Amino acid sequence: MYSDLFRGIGLKKEDLSNYDTPLVGFDGQMVIPEGQISLPVNMKGKEVVVAFIVVTSYSPYTAILGRPWIYAMGAVPSTLHVKVKFCTEHGIAIVQGDQQVARQCLVAAVGREIKQKESIVEAPL
C-alpha cells in the first residue's frame, strides 16, 4: 500500500506494526517500508484480511494485491484479460479492469511526477 492511500483512509503511523525488510521498487530503487498493517478487503461481497506493507514511493497504483490475497480469495487472475474471478456464496464473481483507463491513469501519474520534479528544480534556494 502506498502512503497516499494509507493517509487517505485516515490511518496514522501509530496504526502500523514494524516491518524491517527493505523492498525494491519498480524503478529498481530500494525502499524502506513505513511499517505493516492488516486490513479487511471486501470485493464483490467476499472479504479477506490482507497484510499491507506501507511504503512511501512513487507509483501510479494505490495498493498492490499480491499472491497472499489471490490465495485467500481463491482467485484466478488473468493479466491478458485484465480480470480476476473468484467464487462467492452467490456464484462466480468477476472483477474486470479497463486497459485504456489504466493507461490514462499511468500517463496522468507520470505527468504529475514530472511536474513535481520540475517545480523542485525551478525552486529558488
pLDDT tens readout for residues 33-76: 999 999 999 999 999 999 999 998 877 778 889 999 999 999 99
Global pTM value: 0.75
- Enumerate residues 6+ apart whose C-beta is below 8 A from 71: none
The C-alpha cell at 52 is 499491507
Q: 36 vs 47, 77, 87, 96, CA distance in Å?
A: 19, 25, 28, 28
| Contact assessment for residue 57 and residue 36, using Cβ atoms and an 8 Å cutoff | no
pLDDT tens readout for residues 4-42: 899 999 999 999 999 989 998 777 889 999 999 999 999
